[in-house]
């Protein structure tokens, strides 16, 4: 049964996360998340975490950072590359909550809303800092490749 079929039948899906793209919110192998099916004609909003399909056959849980005609721009909380123009038809559910350390959390609670405001909304700044932090490492690799040990 596909996730689309499961959501159509039961209206809600709880799943254990695979991957690190939604860190620090959802941790791989430890936390679970719950998504609900979208209602017919329902549009997602900026900052919603959505489950969507990525061809050919994978499902991704990431956050909407921009809404525009026909689709969304989407980014994982731990990612630096935005996926642009994801068609609305590929979004199959929206996250309503998650479980961490045995405790249920809702996307409506204050702690989650603070996380979105303080960590997710300044995503451009966070991405810039990560890229700047990677510069010394990339420079060191370049210098090693260019001027590294040479046999002679």
Q: What is the model's pTM? A: 0.87
Which 3-state string (H, E, C) describes 93-132? EEEEEEEECCEEEECCCHHHHHHHHHHHCCHHHHHHHHHH
Tens digit of pLDDT per residue, the chain (152 long)?
999 999 999 999 999 989 999 999 999 999 999 999 999 999 999 999 999 999 988 999 999 999 999 899 999 999 999 999 999 999 999 999 999 999 999 999 999 999 999 999 999 999 998 888 877 877 888 888 888 765 55
Structural domains in the chain (count): 1
In contact, 62 and 52? CB cutoff 8 Å: yes
**61 domain residue, yes or no:** yes
**22 domain residue, yes or no:** yes
**45 domain residue, yes or no:** yes
**137 domain residue, yes or no:** no
For residue 28, the domain's CATH number is 2.10.109.10
Instruction: Provide the sign of the torsion angle of the four alpha carbons 140, 122, 59, 29, taken in this order.
Output: positive
CA 124 to chain CA centroid, Å, is 15
Instruction: Provide the sign of the torsion angle of the four alpha carbons 8, 13, 17, 21, taken in this order.
Output: positive
**152 domain residue, yes or no:** no
Which residue range(s) make up the domain with 109? 3-121
**31 domain residue, yes or no:** yes
**138 domain residue, yes or no:** no
**129 domain residue, yes or no:** no
Question: What's the pLDDT at 149?
Answer: 62
Question: What's the pLDDT at 129?
Answer: 87
């Amino acid at each position: 049964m596909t996730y689309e079929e499961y959501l159509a039948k039961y209206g809600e899906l709880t799943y254990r996360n695979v991957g690190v793209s939604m860190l620090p919110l959802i941790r791989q192998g430890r936390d679970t998340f719950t998504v609900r099916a979208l209602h017919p004609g329902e549009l997602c909003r900026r900052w919603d975490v959505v489950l969507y399909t990525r061809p050919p056959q994978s499902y991704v849980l990431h956050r909407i950072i921009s809404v525009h005609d026909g689709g969304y721009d989407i980014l994982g909380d731990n990612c630096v590359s935005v996926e642009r123009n994801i068609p609305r038809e590929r979004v199959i559910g929206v996250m309503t909550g998650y479980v961490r350390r045995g405790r249920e959390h809702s996307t409506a609670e204050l702690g989650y809303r603070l996380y979105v405001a303080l960590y997710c909304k300044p995503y451009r700044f966070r991405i810039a800092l990560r890229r700047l932090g990677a510069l010394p490492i990339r420079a060191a690799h370049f210098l090693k490749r260019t001027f590294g040990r040479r046999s002679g």
